[in-house]
Amino acid sequence: MPELPEVETVRDGLARHVLGRTVRGVEVRRDYSVRRHEAGPLDFAGRLTGRRLEAAVRRGKFCWLLLGDDEALLAHLGMSGQLLVRSSAEEGADHPHLRVRLLLDDGVLDFVDQRTFGHLSVQELVPTPDGAPGGAGSDLAAVPEPVSHIARDLLDPFLDEAAVLTALRARRTGLKRAILDQTLVSGVGNIYADEGLWRAQLHYARATDTMRRPDAQRALSGARDVMSEALAQGGTSFDALYVNVNGASGYFDRSLAVYGQEGRPCPRCGTPVRRDEFMNRSAFTCPRCQPRPRNGRW
């Protein structure tokens, strides 16, 4: 699933390529892709037609385009969603996974989604709890209503990291499970959690309620550093399912230390990387650099 660096790469591309354009028409080719728009596909198309795309914003793994009048086009990419900018209506018109098409006054914006877990909707904006700007790319103190419960991310300049550390250490759970909780800190998914914990030399099952504050700080710093580096390389692409708005893949997968590297030598100590089942997914660690705690939490 796209994580913060991938979604931020898409947001940045939208900011550079579609802002200022007006939606002249909407084609919903698969109703399920607008399932979170409760009034249905026809209302979705009607609410977008004639609207100007004013700003591109992101919080965690959510991205949205401001429409004015306290509304936004909200996108969640799911596992395979892509927002692709086309120069003409003919380009990409026959794509087998094209779900929604926005016809702009200059070009086209397509929502392509092979696995159909992603979705688009038009949502009202609500004030953020602390009144600070809503997310990357915005100076507005509001977010779409479905995003209001999502915490700020590690790259957000308004993040209260001291409060996050306190909340993390107050939980009775495992470290990776806490980091993946989008209500605590957003944007971190399976890839960057594993990579960040490897950098911090902490095991994913460390009990958060017994952690020293410096260790908790290392965990957050490790995730922040790895996401910053991934963002500089356009995100992580394992196949054609994640690309930026121009269809180009990211290159951070070439820099992964442990994620997906089972059996390969740890870049730091040479010990073979281990894979464990974790929350119906996988967790990758170096057994030597990240020793398993005796009384871990899952």
52 included as an active-site residue: no
Task: Identify the active-site residue in 16, 115, 172, 281.
Answer: 281
Is the alpha carbon torsion for 177, 178, 184, 188 positive or negative?
negative
The C-alpha atoms of residue 115 and residue 93 are separated, in whole angstroms, by: 19
Helix extents (H) in the chain: 4-17, 41-48, 161-170, 175-180, 190-200, 213-232
DSSP helix/strand/coil, 90 = coil
Both tokens of 107, joined, read 């070009």
Neighbour-count burial for 107-141, b at 16+ CB within 10 Å, e otherwise: bbbbbbbbebebbbbbbebeebeeeebbbbbbebe
Task: Identify the active-site residue in 58, 59, 61, 152.
Answer: 61
- Residue whose token pair is 């397509």: 110
6 included as an active-site residue: no
8 Å CB contact between 108 and 91: yes
3 included as an active-site residue: yes
99 included as an active-site residue: no
Q: Name the residues annotated as catalytic.
A: 2-3, 61, 281
